[in-house]
Amino acid sequence: MTEFTDQVTNGVKDVDITKGTTQAEMHKEQTKDIPTQANGEDDNEDSEDDNDDDQVGAGDGAAKKKKKRKPRKKKKAGANGTTAAGTATKQSEPPRVPVSQLFREEYPVGEEVEYKDDNLYRTTNEEKRHLDRMNNDFLQEYRQGAEIHRQVRQYAQKNIKPGMTLTEIAEMIEDGTRALTGHQGLIEGDNIIAGVGFPTGLSLNHCAAHYTPNAGNKLVLKEEDVMKVDFGVHINGRIVDSAFTMAFDPKYDNLLAAVKDATNTGIREAGIDVRVSDIGAAIQETMESYEVTLNGQTTHVKPIRNLNGHNINQYQIHGGKSVPIVGKSTDNTKMEEGETFAIETFGSTGKGYVHDDMETSHYAKNVDAPKVALRVASAKSLLNVITKNFGTLPFCRRYLDRLGQDKYLLGLNNLVSAGIVEAYPPLVDVKGSYTAQYEHTILLRPNVKEVLSRGDDY
């Protein structure tokens, strides 16, 4: 999810993402000792074989041959891709099998990139390697979320077609995310354990970010559209934030290539003790080296200078640090060991500057929300719903509709006015321009940089 420069909240406290017991961890602890059906079947088979051996006794005489133990039959996978014990062996289409059934606690590792220059020693330093091993629990949560993101987006990339409504596309992605996390989010508190990390952004053409359809939206994806697909997955508040761009006309290829290359440049330059302003300069240089020709006019791809990457804390999508995508930043903030960052870049054929426009759909409760007296009754009840179902995770109006809330706009606007909830309107460049986005979540581990959301697609 994008950080808009003018909307950054200052003074946000850092959250220690390696400590604290959560509902998700308690649930794991309660279920870890439950025996599986497969173990029970194996015990029964052993008992039957032992009985057969006992029945062949000395009374039959030495002349009689002892019965041979029959080899066990291998359990065959079921037609639906499950074993006899009920554990899935492959993902369904559309994706509905929780990834916890596809992997045994250990989830695929993202792309590991060794540190360079002054940090090269971290790769082999035993102290740093020990610190890295101590972080395995929350690493597995990040990797589980990343694997869900890869499986959901790869299905979406194959199945999103012109003619679909944006609501159909958003629900395709969100239904897959909820199914693969195993948390539908309809029971109070369920979405806080795991599920959708923030609303699915489906921003078209000159709209760069923060657009998702509200109820009744009938907007249809067209052949000539350029659509940014930005969605998040979280496990125990460890948010994986990744985005890509879809276009169906090859004339936009260079625009997409410029932004993808710029994002990879940002990832390559990122590291412990690196100044974020230096990353922005490298991103800008890469992006502006590309040209795109539209309607007979050739122009350099411009980075959108007031959109940034950002660090991510547990249950907090914008952690307080920004990663600019232009080189004129005076921000000398450095990246630090153990931090998680969303490295994202935006390119435009327009002015390279965005502003608020259109109907708001994205909201989030502020981490440092003020305690103020709410005089609107609907605002009090709505705040209770938001706190118990989303906490400080971003949400949209469709998610409130899904929970059965209605006539909530007055209360929602009151919470925004009070500073308790932040509204994130769509961000647009000039009409007639086209924008693209690519984004990955990276983790600065003590001994290596891991691009958590990296896949075969981007």
Q: Contact, 451 vs 403, CB < 8 A?
A: no
- Ramachandran angles phi, psi of 141, nearest 5°: -65, -45
> Tens digit of pLDDT for each residue in 264-305?
999 999 999 999 999 999 999 999 999 999 999 999 999 999
pLDDT mean across residues, the chain: 86
Q: Contact, 346 vs 259, CB < 8 A?
A: yes
- Ramachandran angles phi, psi of 375, nearest 5°: -95, -15
Handedness of CA 435, 416, 16, 100 (dihedral sign): negative
> Tens digit of pLDDT for each residue in 355-370?
999 999 999 999 999 9
Characterize the bridge pairing of strands 297-300 and 226-235: unpaired
pLDDT at 21: 42
Please state the pTM of the whole predicted model: 0.82
Q: Contact, 455 vs 443, CB < 8 A?
A: no
Q: Is the pLDDT of residue 333 over 90?
A: yes
Q: Contact, 353 vs 6, CB < 8 A?
A: no
SS3 297: strand
Least confident of 23-27, 142-146, 403-407: 23-27
Q: Is the pLDDT of residue 451 over 70?
A: yes
Closest-CA residue to 122 (of 449, 450, 454) = 449
pLDDT at 31: 42
pLDDT at 1: 85
pLDDT at 87: 67
Q: Is the pLDDT of residue 131 over 90?
A: no
Q: Contact, 141 vs 448, CB < 8 A?
A: no
Structure tokens at 400: 């409130």
Number of other CB atoms surrounding residue 404 within 10 Å: 8
- 199 upstream amide cis, omega within 30 of 0: no
Which residues carry out catalysis? Answer: 230, 241, 310, 318, 344, 439
pLDDT at 121: 79
Compute CA 328 distance to the chain's CA centroid, rounded to the nearest angstrom: 30
pLDDT tier, 329 (very low <50, low <70, confident <90, very high otherwise): confident
Question: Mean per-residue pLDDT for 386-402?
Answer: 98
Question: Mean per-residue pLDDT for 213-234?
Answer: 98
Identity of the residue numbered 394: P
Closest-CA residue to 160 (of 250, 243, 242, 220) = 220
